[in-house]
Copies of this chain bind each other. A is one copy, B any other.
């Protein structure tokens, strides 16, 4: 069978405890002893059994990351950032996708991998305020995304409100007045869609502009295809509009596609802006004006918070809002 710590101990002429000390970087070991143990580990090709360690210590060195889907570039890029940040703390990330489905999100919460993860980075999309009680998990957790819950949980939040206001103001400052919105979810009182839409409406109010009728279109799962469909639907209504604020980048990219297919010039006829600043936004034609919620910052902060929470170093719960950055590009400015 597999080589065990006992085998290594025998080979090195020490006790298993000493091997364990070496493996775990316990500092007070004679250099000579360490060398002997390391040589034995190498000679035998020993690899520690993480399950055994976990069973005894209660820790695995693995944290979970629950996101809707990786096909959404925002979450894929967030996952890469989380993996990098976790690596700096010697942690491995186990990704779970929930499909933005409430049931699957609750499952991810209820059964954090059968004690297989020490903590959870949790990015729900389908949960509502009625689920707030479920958030009282035994496993340490940091919530990513929106402030839809006000329970005792650590949060790292996107600055949806200010980010949205910045991009809508930009549109208004470019002289746009009839700004359509795609991706709304009229049935959801909370959540990303509602927050961004609310901030959009507030910004119009700031400028003394009423929210235009018939220019808010829902957009399914916020994929490129839903963005294209939503835009086709909007164009089909014959409504006039001179700008589109898409609630995320993939929607915006789909919308750009549909606008181009209808011969609408961007930004001359219609300006388009999104939210997320996925890599693709810099390379589309036209390049997309969007809000960068700084996913790297979010990932780092969330991992650090989780590490502290797991260590029990945190007394109260933290709510951190990540800084946003507006990137203005051709889709609202024209090719310079």
A-to-B contact residues, CB < 8 Å: 2, 47-52, 54-55, 60, 62, 69-71, 73, 76-77, 79-80, 83, 92-97, 111, 113-116, 138, 223-225, 228, 253-254, 256-257, 260, 279-280, 282-285, 287
A80 to chain B, nearest CB (A): 5
Contact B76 A70 (CB under 8 A): yes
Contact B257 A51 (CB under 8 A): no
A278 to chain B, nearest CB (A): 9
Contact of A76 among B76, B257, B260, B282 (CB under 8 A): B76
Contact B228 A254 (CB under 8 A): no
- List 3 A-B pairs, minimum CB-CB distance, nearest first: A50-B114, A76-B76, A51-B54
Number of copies: 2
Contact of A70 among B54, B77, B115, B225 (CB under 8 A): B77
Specify the chain B residue showing the minimal Cβ separation from A95: B95
Q: How far is the CA of A260 from the CA of B284 in the complex (A)?
A: 10
Q: How far is the CA of A60 from the CA of B77 in the complex (A)?
A: 28
Chain B contacts for A225, CB-based, 8 A: 283
**Besides A71-B73, A224-B280, A257-B283, 9 other A-B contacts (C-beta < 8 A):** A49-B55, A51-B52, A71-B279, A73-B76, A92-B94, A92-B96, A253-B280, A256-B285, A280-B280
Specify the chain B residue showing the minimal Cβ separation from A260: B285
Specify the chain B residue showing the minimal Cβ separation from A261: B335
Contact A71 B76 (CB under 8 A): yes
Chain B contacts for A287, CB-based, 8 A: 257
Chain B contacts for A97, CB-based, 8 A: 80, 83
Specify the chain B residue showing the minimal Cβ separation from A114: B50
Chain B contacts for A253, CB-based, 8 A: 280, 283
Chain B contacts for A224, CB-based, 8 A: 279-280, 282-283
Specify the chain B residue showing the minimal Cβ separation from A48: B114
Specify the chain B residue showing the minimal Cβ separation from A287: B257
Chain B contacts for A2, CB-based, 8 A: 115, 138
Chain B contacts for A111, CB-based, 8 A: 47
A112 to chain B, nearest CB (A): 8
